[in-house]
Amino acid sequence: MSAVANTPTTGRKNYVTAIKEALFEEMERNPDMICQGEDIGILGGAFGATDGLLAKYGSDRVIDMPIAEACIVGSATGLALGGKTVMAEMQFIDFISCGFDQIVNMLATYHYRTAGEVNMPVVLRGPAGAYGGGALYHSQMNEAWFCNSPGLKVICPSTPYDAKGLLKGALRDGNPCLFFEIKELYRKREIEELLPEDDYTIPFGKAAIRHEGTDVTLVSYGQNVYHCIQAAAELEKLGVSAEVIDIRTLVPLDEDTIFTSIAKTNHLIVVNEAPMTCGFAGEIIARVAEKAFEYLDAPPIRITRLDTPVPWVKPLELFVLPSVEKIVQAALKSVKF
């Protein structure tokens, strides 16, 4: 992958604009790239991420698909076999389950089944996550399903800079990638950033340290990174120094950055908004227990969604999801163990 460029543009960009720029730039760079999904053409996507693509690249390369995720993924697999790079959008990541068989039994296994002769340059991307009142059908984080499927790479950026660089990298990777976009971050003004004018990608499997600390390590990804940063600020007032690690990619996972941080802080809290049972937070803690147990001075703690669908009513939604207060209390419990 190319080196990260440092020449900024003149205006700050939000998360969805960063994704849109990545798509436009990769469509321009790669004439064999196809975009397809529900309402991505005429409508420009449910959240505007593909707005303008149809007008610029035409209906042969920007394809409005029926409401049939199995068809979207299956046809993407066929296009990839024919030499195309495919971006397939799920209108909401919740409904990726309708294409599950095509993803885990076809798309993920093709490279292995052909003894490495056939690549599958397909990126499945879509809006994910809760906190917006979307209730049980429009609030899911189902990333753990795909982390469990060999052959897939799983990505979840938390910043506009990362969203653009990781999406561009995914579209050049040659392997099938699941790209989880946090819809509550799409137009969040507080996280807007200056983006490089020059072409850049971000390597997979390299975490980012968002806040340095010495007493407790907070590991997260996506929207919960910001809850961890806020918790770190609250903990600082209480005399506790928290380090915040944004893993950015789940598969591959940057274990070294996590282990190095725990060797310094000796305490671990993992935060994500998927359910606790069999969620990715448990995977991170399992790896720490296997490979870095000697660094721990207290049991690691998971702060996750409760094992329940996401309620629509706001107080109930917030009750079942991670929060700054929950992270602060867990960190205090850990350091006082």
Enumerate the active-site residues. Answer: 138
Q: How many CB atoms lie within 10 A of CB 331?
A: 28
CA angle 171, 183, 130 (to 5 degrees): 125
The CA–CA distances, whole Å, from 160 to 58, 81, 130, 264 equal 27, 31, 19, 29
Q: Is 266 left (phi over 0), alpha (psi -120 to 50) or beta?
A: left
CA torsion, points 62, 165, 221, 44, in degrees to nearest 10?
-20
Closest CA relative to residue 156, chosen from 187, 132, 125, 131: 125
Give the β-pairing of 242-246 and 153-155.
unpaired
- For β-strands 8-13 and 193-196, DSSP reports them as antiparallel
Pairing of strands 301-305, 268-275: parallel
Kindly state the greatest CA–CA separation across the chain.
61
DSSP secondary-structure letter at 298? S
In this structure, how many other beta carbons lie within 10 angstroms of the beta carbon of residue 204?
A: 22
Supply φ then ψ for residue 81, to 5 degrees: -60, -30
Helix, strand, coil percent values for the chain (each to nearest 5): 40, 20, 40
Q: In a 3-state reduction of DSSP, which class is residue 323?
A: coil
